[in-house]
Amino acid sequence: MDFKKILANDHVKPYLLKARYGIEKESQRVDLSGNLAKTDHPKSISIRDKHPYIQRDFSETQIELITPVTESLKELFDYLAAIHDVAYRSMSDNEMLWPLSMPPQLPEKEEDIVIAKLKSSESVQYRQSLAHSYGRRKQMLCGTHFNFEFGDELLQALFNVQLEIKDYQQFKEEIYLKVTRNYLHYQWLVTYFYGASPISEKNFFEEDSLNEAVRSIRCSKYGYTNSDDVQVSYSSIQNYLSDLSLMIKRGLLVEEKELYAPIRLRGGHHVSDLADHGVHYIELRNIDLNPFETYGISYKQVEFLHLFLIYLLWKDEGNDCDEWVKMGELYNNAVALEHPLEHTQFEIEAKKIIDEMEHVVEILDLSISDTLFVHLREMLMDPSKTLAGRLYKESQKSSQSEVATYIAKENYKKSWSKPYQLTGFTDMELSTQILMFDAIQQGIELEVLDRQAQFLKLQLKDHVEYVKNGNMTSKDNYVSTLIMENKTVTKKILQRHGFRVPMGEEFLTIEQALRSYDLFSTKPFVVKPKTTNYGLGISIFKEGANYEDYQKAITLAFKEDSSILIEEFIKGTEYRFFVLDGQVYAVLLRVPANVKGDGIQTIEDLVIQKNRDPLRGRDHRTPLENIQLGELEKLILKGQGYRIDSILDKDEIVYLRENSNISTGGDSIDVTDQIPDDYKKIAVDAVSALEVKICGIDLIIENIAVPAANKNAYGIIEANFNPSMYMHIYPYKGKSRRLTKHIIHYLFPELSQSQESFVKQGAPLVKREFTTVSC
Amino acid sequence: MDFKKILANDHVKPYLLKARYGIEKESQRVDLSGNLAKTDHPKSISIRDKHPYIQRDFSETQIELITPVTESLKELFDYLAAIHDVAYRSMSDNEMLWPLSMPPQLPEKEEDIVIAKLKSSESVQYRQSLAHSYGRRKQMLCGTHFNFEFGDELLQALFNVQLEIKDYQQFKEEIYLKVTRNYLHYQWLVTYFYGASPISEKNFFEEDSLNEAVRSIRCSKYGYTNSDDVQVSYSSIQNYLSDLSLMIKRGLLVEEKELYAPIRLRGGHHVSDLADHGVHYIELRNIDLNPFETYGISYKQVEFLHLFLIYLLWKDEGNDCDEWVKMGELYNNAVALEHPLEHTQFEIEAKKIIDEMEHVVEILDLSISDTLFVHLREMLMDPSKTLAGRLYKESQKSSQSEVATYIAKENYKKSWSKPYQLTGFTDMELSTQILMFDAIQQGIELEVLDRQAQFLKLQLKDHVEYVKNGNMTSKDNYVSTLIMENKTVTKKILQRHGFRVPMGEEFLTIEQALRSYDLFSTKPFVVKPKTTNYGLGISIFKEGANYEDYQKAITLAFKEDSSILIEEFIKGTEYRFFVLDGQVYAVLLRVPANVKGDGIQTIEDLVIQKNRDPLRGRDHRTPLENIQLGELEKLILKGQGYRIDSILDKDEIVYLRENSNISTGGDSIDVTDQIPDDYKKIAVDAVSALEVKICGIDLIIENIAVPAANKNAYGIIEANFNPSMYMHIYPYKGKSRRLTKHIIHYLFPELSQSQESFVKQGAPLVKREFTTVSC
């Protein structure tokens, strides 16, 4: 088939870069000095052997991170980053991930390498057989597997513009087989650019096999390879599969998945899926960990691989395909064993390939990063710019192990620096980020359906739940949320259920409201627009009001909405109760922006100091907001006789705002354990009267020491159907309440079943399209 | 107690007019000629004996309409009007309500007056005993009962400013007893103004007892009264109750509710509630039907009664309270039997009362209708302006019976003129009005929680359902409605469930969208903002587009939203499927505004003619909108070579709009029975994939004769969580689909149980605060 021609067809071109990606990345857990960890796999993520994102590979210390399938590289890296965050923060805080494919110093005795303590005895047996065949040391190598599938629209378009093959599945096979054979032939190019295992650490080799540094031990014959007798043909799927069967029959392989080729044809979960359903995608396995990237692989690397695969489809191959593949293996081993600072013996060939790739980009109108080719040529001209070259050069200054430990520590710090954020998704709302973190950690399959809209799909086996904004779920009924949205209706319902709410009336016209002056004039009352939520248009009269002020307040409120409420003002402290499924999980007190004096610093200094808290920031990207020193704050200070250069007495507290919103620099203080049960019961019962499952309900309480049953002990201000969760999880003071985890367990009660029952059920955890095969 | 003083207290004044009201109004059903109906009580409202709004009184022809308790007169009259609408449209369309208290001509034989065919044998027995004691003829009198409760805030305020009585319940009793005694003393004033039963029709009296017309037969000794032996004291609740018991013991009354006083003290459902819980409200029973008001009583009448009751509380009473009451009875009978055009013998006393009432209004700062006193004085000066006077004068021209028949017919026409509206609530959305109609008809207790927000509370026994906008209910889960609100997420989910949706992509920037030109350029496609719903910013390219047009469309769409969708355009006809709980209840085709020629009239004439349809109107107050002839319509006509004065050939159809929205004059055509089941199944399954219960889902189908399973037979455009219902109920063409009734039965499945089981359950239907005691 003339792929050069059909790839350039106008009906194909728009889809050329459509693809689906996935990454699996292994790393060794080490302590903060870079020694192999002696601890078990973290408990919080060892819920099941088949965690969709974080598993153990061969050994107990070998963490494998697995992204879901994505349709863009951006998404791929977002997930990779996020899963790294979860892995890091699930590990003990004195452990980190080793950034190299070569493991850190291994135990002297091979038996001290601990095989992964999996629950499935089959999985453990398989690992024992690997240990027996290859030795435990070799199994400690780590790398990145890159799963790649051509977009279906692309394959369809290609299929449609050719006439030779009538069957779509067969056509797909041809495509993937050609790419696979060419990849095997040209794999040395990847090894040259991205090989990154030049030197082994102590006890990797039983006896030192290599005297000199190389480009990639892992990709060479000293790495992770089958015995020379293991040979399969890539001439057709049939031949490939029958060769594989033969290898097993002859005892050369225990299972089909033991075939350690640099690229693997994938049909599904089992090799047999290939025969049944054809090729689904391919898995590139010869990618060493990139030590210079936090997540072990760079965006450009993946971009290169994608482009390389298109190029390999375009590029003619040798006539004898088995020979073509065999040559590739030889070339690759040669390149892998070259010195990392040495030019490759295939430099001319490499240059030609790069030129041709650039040509393909041009004729196919592919849009790629501007500097990709510049960068590739640089590496070609200067071997010290390849990954192996860079690592080797760095290591010369101290040792590879020290370099790796330093890098690991930087990554470690980065992952812990903003524990409330989920890297990759920091543009999303904080509560959603935290919920996503917990979902990943709990092994819930996560998909962002609409990023801007904070719309998530969570899935555990066949159980799907959709979540918007962290806590808008299927558990709440529609009309109840509409009730909460409507203050008048909420109050009416709560009042009829016997709860105290501020008495008041709704008005549709200024005239109507003015006529009711006598009803309110002498009591504490509030005038507010009916539906605004941001404090706009609200006037509070704590001691009643004269007619003029009453009139002004009404006019102000009507500017914000077409109907207003005039309500009794209830004195006391406002508490936010977070109620979930009939239980109070957190109670929060919000205090207006303030500083506490030390007798030395000015108010401005104190604000600057308080804003240094890593929990504080701007624009809701942190659990707390910076305290501002704008006109309003200065005015409020002035009202109290202060300026920003005033020095406060020790322990003197000055407020810079009148409202207690967290968004204007207020403090959040967890008081869950201090609030008596009778008030919690009021909150729970009120939420139940509204028939709501997830609710943030605001109670004003004058004195929590007074029983809730006392007359006017409390008043309910409002009920919120999308209550902020992050402020409870990262309060300024007090205990953190991980509400997102409660939400997940509420949505997936099956999570709370014992680990045992999960194992017993046995079915594959989630339907994933790229399936992981460990080891 | 000095009520004059405490009523004028500043702490009391703001609450003086706070009160709760209820009306019960009886009418005889008659045929269109004014003859007593021979038919049974309407089936659609005879579901239960204890319908909360529409019951039978003594006879099968005697309909009793009952408003819920309201806190404003406006609401009271809104409900009264609405319940009238439901009663009228539940009756056969050749029946109407007799507008007089005096029944129309009765059957010659008393036995031919049919006692209400109630299911409860007790109720029937009670009516038989009444027939025995008073004769069936007298039981055919009709009137209005006005239930009145002083506002709790008012009573509390009064209680708080006095020191004499320590117990609140006792204080309330004092208030109601004083008002009751004074009412009994001064009842003649009400009879003078509002008595309206001057003449009896044939067979009311067995022998003619009255030779002359009077003010009120019903309120006189010839009306609905107990025997003279029945006397009770109103000196205290205790005395009242013990007298009542005595009457029953002596066989003068069968039950306590047989006491036919012009005012009744009410504690609750049973007389014994008075002893247990004190007085809850009072029931004025001496109000004749006002023939000149569609709903039998005027706003001013009720305003007068309210003011009169306040006045009676203020007004000193006689020392001997039993004597005081007895005098009132005598006065009243005298006034009732005066000739309707004669001045009353108590004119001077009446004038004094009116002056005093006006004085009370002044000193207590009460706000009342400007013309109330003018009107009262007019009636006092000129007896022909009282109700009895007016009716008598009118009747002189023909006969009372003809006048009544004419009035009844006018009311009948009014009730049927806009069958889609619910009078009293025409400011609400049509679908909500229709749902309210059905709720009232089905005997569901209805409360409007927020009129502007279309927020209803429906209740059947203890089962409460909240409904917003007619179909936003507790049955749908929150996140599913959020899914439907989000086109991207809806499409993703439907697509993954195997439904065909327009393929497309979401873009966040113009640049991004421009880069994807090649993906769409050659195919039919649509560019649209992600969230706008009104057709703004949408461009359709049925044959692909050049780059400039593509760019323009994108810019246009981004003006409406921060993200846009570019989607495949699916050709065919768009149908709206209304799906409820897994079943398609209606399918609608919407056709752009159009007229069909007759070879004679111009387009303008045809539009005017088509707009005469009573279903058409403006501003969504009717099921269809008027076709406009604005600039846009003229432009579209021009594009087809027409002007508004063009004459169309016979049967030629011309479209005046390109969009098929009902809101721009489009036609709605019910095609439920024409759509094959396989397409209905697609609609049901898609709605179920979204986990939605109530949904309007839009399918584009190219040809309904082609099986839905065929490739690309259909495409799903969107799913709506608040689909319009009225367009299915009142379509331009085709069968009406009463979706609101299905919604009610879905919310209250217990409604579908047999009538029997309802009767067996026996418990009071709803908790009402004013309880009806029939007969």
Tens of pLDDT, residues A175-230: 999 999 999 999 999 999 999 999 999 999 877 678 899 999 999 999 978 888 88
Give, in degrees to the nearest 5, the angle at Cα A102 between A96 and A108.
90
Question: Which of A449, A450, A479 to probe the B interface (max B CBs under 10 A)?
Answer: A479
Q: Which two tokens stand for residue A598?
A: 């030390």
The CA angle B371-B373-B377, to the nearest 5 degrees, is: 120
A518/B13 CB distance under 8 A: yes
Q: Do B477 and A481 touch (CB under 8 A)?
A: no
Q: How far apart are CA A27 and CA A24, in angstroms?
A: 10
Joined tokens for residue B174: 């004092």
Contact status, residue A30 vs residue A97, Cβ threshold 8 Å: yes
Cβ distance A350 to A189 under 8 Å? Answer: yes
Q: Which residue is associated with the tokens 């006896």?
A: A207
Tell me whether residues A450 and B14 touch, CB distance under 8 A.
no
What is the pLDDT at residue A530? 83
pLDDT for A257 equals: 81
Residue linked to tokens 């507008």:
B99
Inspect the interface and report whether the beta carbons of A477 and B476 lie closer than 8 Å.
Answer: yes
- Those residues with Cβ within 8 angstroms of residue A322's Cβ, 6 or more apart along the chain or in another chain: A233, A234, A235
Distance from CA of A450 to the nearest CA of B (A): 7
The pLDDT of residue A533: 56
B462 backbone dihedrals φ, ψ, rounded to 5°? -90, 0
Residue holding tokens 């509204």? A690
Per-residue pLDDT at B122 exceeds 80:
yes
DSSP B368: -
| Confidence (pLDDT) at B756 | 39
Please enumerate in sequence order all residues whose Cβ is within 8 A of that of A677, keeping only pairs 6 or more positions apart, or say none. Answer: none
> Is pLDDT of B758 > 50?
no
The pLDDT of residue A535 is 64
Distance from CA of B427 to the nearest CA of A (A): 14
Q: pLDDT for A13-57, tens place per residue?
A: 989 999 999 999 999 999 999 999 999 999 888 766 689 999 999
Q: Residue range B491-497: average pLDDT?
A: 95
Question: B14 to chain A nearest CA, in Å?
Answer: 5
Nearest to A479 among B452, B472, B479 (CB): B472
Nearest to A479 among B468, B479, B492 (CB): B468
Q: Please list every residue in chain B whose beta carbon sits closer than 8 Å to the beta carbon of residue A488.
A: 449-450, 453
Give the sheet arrangement for strand B667-670, strand by strand. Answer: B667-670, B583-591, B573-580, B694-701, B714-720
Residues B450, A486: C-beta atoms closer than 8 Å? yes
Q: Calculate the CA A629 to chain-centre distance.
A: 35
Q: How far apart are CA B469 and CA B474, in angstroms?
A: 13
Dihedral of alpha carbons A27, A32, A36, A38, sign? negative
Q: Looking up tokens 């067969």, which residue turns up?
A: A170
Distance separating alpha carbons of residues A523 and A589, to the nearest angstrom? 26
- Each residue's pLDDT tens digit, B269-292: 777 788 888 999 999 999 999 999
Residues contacting B760, CB < 8 A, separation 6+: none
Give the type of residue at A535: G
Most A CBs within 10 A among B13, B469, B474, B479, hence the mutation to make, goes to B479
How many Å apart are CA A294 and CA A59, to the nearest integer? 22
Burial B741-758 (b: 16+ CB within 10 A, else e): bbbbbbbbeebeeeeeeb
Tell the burial category of A481 from Cβ atoms under 10 Å away from its Cβ (0-12, 13-18, 19+). buried
- Searching chain B, which residue's CA lies closest to the CA of residue A15? B519
Burial of B431 (0-12, 13-18, 19+ CB in 10 A): buried
User: Are A515 and B15 in contact (CB < 8 Å)?
Assistant: no
Let me know: does B260 contact B225? Beta carbons within 8 Å: yes
Spatial CB neighbours of A372, under 8 Å, sequence gap ≥ 6? A300, A303, A304, A307
pLDDT number for residue A50? 82
Q: Residue A648 carries which DSSP code?
A: P
Helix/strand/coil percent split, chain B, to 5: 40, 20, 45
Dist. CA B378–CA B381, nearest whole Å:
5
Interchain pair A450, B486: CB under 8 A:
yes
**Residues of B whose CB is below 8 A from A450:** 486, 488-489
A547 contact residues in B (CB cutoff 8 A): none
- State the average pLDDT for chain B: 92
> DSSP letters along A380-409, please?
HH-GGGSHHHHHHHHHHHS-HHHHHHHHHH
CB-nearest to B488 from A450, A508, A515 is: A450
- B472 and A482 within 8 Å at the Cβ level: the answer is yes
Round to whole Å and give the CA distance between A149 and A280. 7
Of residues B14, B474, B486, nearest to A518 (C-beta): B14
Name every residue in B having a CB less than 8 A away from some CB of A.
Answer: 13-15, 367, 449-450, 452-453, 455, 465-468, 472-483, 486, 488-489, 492-493, 508, 515-516, 518-519, 562-563, 691, 721
Burial of B140 (0-12, 13-18, 19+ CB in 10 A): buried
CB contact under 8 A, B14 and A468: no
Query: Hey, is B743 helix, strand or coil?
Result: helix
Integer Cα distance of A419 and B55 in angstroms: 67
| pLDDT at residue B392 greater than cutoff 90 | yes
Picking from A69, A482, A506 by the largest number of B CB atoms within 10 A of its own CB, the best residue to mutate is A482
What is d(CA A690, CA A497) in angstroms, rounded to the nearest whole number?
9
CB–CB of B486 and A455 under 8 A? yes
Query: Rounded distance, CA A289 to CA A141, Å?
Result: 10
Across the interface, of B367, B477, B562, the residue whose CB is closest to A478 is: B477
Report the alpha-carbon distance of residue B723 to residue B484 in Å, rounded: 11
Q: Which of B449, B472, B478 sits opposite A492 (nearest CB)?
A: B449
Strand bridging mode B455-460 / B463-468:
antiparallel
Q: Quick check: helix, strand or coil at residue B596? A: strand
How close B713 gets to chain A, by Cα (Å)?
Answer: 20
Q: How far is B457 from chain A (nearest CA, A)?
A: 10
Residue B237 in this model has a pLDDT that exceeds 80:
yes
What is residue B222's predicted lDDT score, i.e. its pLDDT? 92
Q: Pick from A467, A480, A493: which is nearest to B479 by CB?
A: A467
Judge whether residue B768 has pLDDT over 50: no
> Are residues B467 and A479, on separate chains, in Cβ contact within 8 Å?
yes
The β-bridge relationship of strands B445-450 and B455-460 is antiparallel
Contact call for residues A501 and A526 (beta carbons, < 8 A): no
d(CA B194, CA A668): 66
Cα angle B499-B502-B504, degrees, rounded to a multiple of 5: 125
Residue numbers in A near B478 (CB within 8 A): 472-478, 480-481, 721
| pLDDT one-digit tens code per residue, B55-72 | 999 999 999 999 999 999
Q: What is the pLDDT of residues A728-743, one digit of tens each?
A: 999 999 999 999 999 9
Cα nearest neighbour of B365 on chain A: A518
- Which of A14, A468, A691 shows the shortest C-beta gap to B482? A468
Do the chains contact at B481 and A486, CB–CB below 8 Å? no
- Which pLDDT score is estimated for A270? 77
Q: Output the pLDDT for position B28.
A: 98
Q: H or E element: which one contains A129?
A: helix A121-134
The pLDDT of A544-564, averaged and rounded, is 91
pLDDT confidence band for A272 (50 / 70 / 90): confident
> So what's the pLDDT on residue B762?
35
Strand extents, DSSP E, B431-534: 445-450, 455-460, 463-468, 504-507, 525-529
Strand pairing class (A694-701; A504-507): unpaired
Closest CA to A405 of A107, A141, A35, A138: A35
> Is B215 within 8 Å of B386 (Cβ atoms)?
yes
- Chain B residues with CB-CB distance to A476 below 8 A: 477-479
- On whether the CB atoms of residues A343 and A215 are closer than 8 A, the answer is no
- All residues at 6 or more sequence positions from A758 whose CB lies less than 8 Å from its CB, including other chains: A47, A48
Distance (Å, whole) CA B525 – CA A629: 52
pLDDT on residue B770: 59
pLDDT at residue B584 above 90?
A: yes
Coil, strand or helix at A605 = helix
Q: A interface mutation test: which of B154, B478, B711 has the most A CBs within 10 A?
A: B478
Distance from CA of B755 to the nearest CA of A (A): 29
Give, rounded to a whole angstrom, the gap between the first and last alpha carbons of chain A: 36
Q: Which amino acid, residue A506?
A: E
**Chain A to chain B Cβ contacts (< 8 Å):** 107
**CA-derived radius of gyration, chain A:** 32
Q: What pLDDT, on the 0 to 100 scale, is given for residue B533? A: 56
Q: What gap in Å lies between CA B666 and CA B679, rounded to an integer?
A: 24
Q: Which residue has the tokens 């499935």?
A: A120
Based on DSSP, count helices (H) and strands (E) in chain B, helices before strands.
25, 23
DSSP assignment letter at A197? B
Please judge whether A478 and B481 are an interchain contact, meaning their C-beta atoms are less than 8 angstroms apart.
yes
ipTM of the complex: 0.88
Helix/strand/coil for A680:
helix
CB B525 within 8 A of CB B568: yes
Q: How far apart are CA B277 and CA B280, in angstroms?
A: 8
- Which chain B residues are within 8 Å of A468, Cβ to Cβ? 479, 482
Do residues A629 and A607 touch, judged by C-beta distance below 8 A? Answer: yes
The band of A771, judged by pLDDT with boundaries at 50, 70 and 90, is low
H-only helix segments in B657-712: 677-689
Query: Of B311, B397, B290, whose CA–CA distance to B362 is shortest?
Result: B311
Give me the pLDDT at residue A275, please: 84
Interface of A with B (CB under 8 A): 13-15, 367, 449-450, 452-453, 455, 465-468, 472-483, 486, 488-489, 492-493, 508, 515-516, 518-519, 562-563, 691, 721
